[in-house]
Amino acid sequence: MMGDVASSSARITGWGAALPEKVVTNADLEATLDTSDEWIVERTGIRERRIGGSTTGLAIEAGRRALDQAGVPGADVDLVILCTCTPDETMPASSAAVQQGLGIAGGAMDLNAACSGFVYGLVAADGFLRSGLGRVLLIGAETMSRIVDWEDRGTAILFGDGAGAVVLEGGGGPGRVLGWDLGSDGSLRHILHADAGGTIQMDGPEVFRRAVRIMVESAERALQGAGCSVDDIALFVPHQANARIIASACSKLGISAERTANNLALVGNTSAASIPLALVGAADAGRLAAGDLVLVVGFGAGMSWASAVVEWAT
């Protein structure tokens, strides 16, 4: 499904991130798995990941930073959307704890589209703002370490924990979601899944084969919806799953590494937290200015995919 929402306005006015303190390096994994730092770096680009905490704890920390930066008290937020596939409880939605923790006056809901979750949430938030809400706090937060089989070297090396958040405000001014693309192919559920209460099962090479094409096609549809070309994009923020997937998508899209956010080496694949963590890192590093166009592209279990072109507001 492709969208052209040029008339909408979802300005990112604050952003924040949170990572657990505990660092797990590839050398640490060598101690328990038949693997090596060299293999992991060469095949994935990952050097270390952060492990620990709870999804709601990380979400509250990242959300508080985003609200502080925007100068928005929780009481002025109409809705918190927590994008996660690792909620702390099945019921209620983990966003309920975030709502309480941040003193948010409005509603709270979880959104699960696996690693595509944050971009799905961005498009959903944009829709809520267009239909009259004033402010949405959008958070991607995961504790993937809780659903990883630490004896499976095919997956244990990839995932990490963390959270990233943005405050989205409606009304006028610069900053908009210019175009987007959302999709899912449920016939591919089996190549990446975790049963309720179970651990992640993945056909890595199959996911790899499909990921690049999915990302490129989805990105192109979002660009088309936004009415712009790849040359107009100041920063590409792809889902951080594998450095080779990112490099291949960049080359097929015609985007240089200099215009691409990449924090994979330090955090691994943090699923729905991956894109906001990379976005927040780039913004904090001064890589974004008002009016810049940002292309965010997620893909993951489902298989699901989601892309959006966002005009940076501040």
The residue annotated as part of the active site, out of 85, 112, 239, 263, is 239
Q: Which residue in 112, 143, 269, 304 binds ligand COA (CB under 6 A)?
A: 269
Is residue 154 at the binding interface for ligand COA, with CB under 6 A as the rule? yes
212 contacts ligand COA (rule: CB under 6 A): no
Q: What are phi and psi of 111, to 5 degrees?
A: -135, 125
Site string for ligand COA, 166-205 (x = CB under 6 A): --------------------------x---------x-xx
Give dist(CA 242, CA 252) in Å, integer.
16
For ligand COA (CB under 6 A), the number of binding residues is 20
Per the listing, tokens 């090596």 go with 36
Among residues 170 and 300, whose Cβ is nearest to ligand COA?
300
Q: Is 190 annotated as catalytic?
A: no
What minimum distance in Å lies between the beta carbon of 10 and ligand COA?
Answer: 25
Q: Closest separation between CB of residue 146 and ligand COA, Å?
A: 16
44 binds ligand COA (CB under 6 A): yes
**Tell me, what amino acid is at 52?**
G
In the complex, minimum distance from the CB of residue 104 to ligand COA, in angstroms, rounded to a whole number: 29
Identify the residue whose tokens are 């990449």: 262
Question: Kindly report the CA angle at 105 between 6 and 80, in degrees rounded to 5?
Answer: 45
By CB under 6 A, tell whether 150 contacts ligand COA. Answer: no
| 206 Cβ neighbours under 8 A, 6+ residues apart | 191
* Distance of closest approach, residue 249 Cβ to ligand COA, in angstroms: 12
Active site residue 262: no
Closer to ligand COA by CB, 136 or 157: give it.
157
Distance in Å, CB of 116 to ligand COA, minimum: 8
What are the residue numbers of the active site? Answer: 115, 239, 269
Interface contacts to ligand COA, rule CB under 6 A: 35, 39-40, 43-44, 115, 153-154, 157, 192, 202, 204-205, 207-208, 211, 241-242, 269, 300
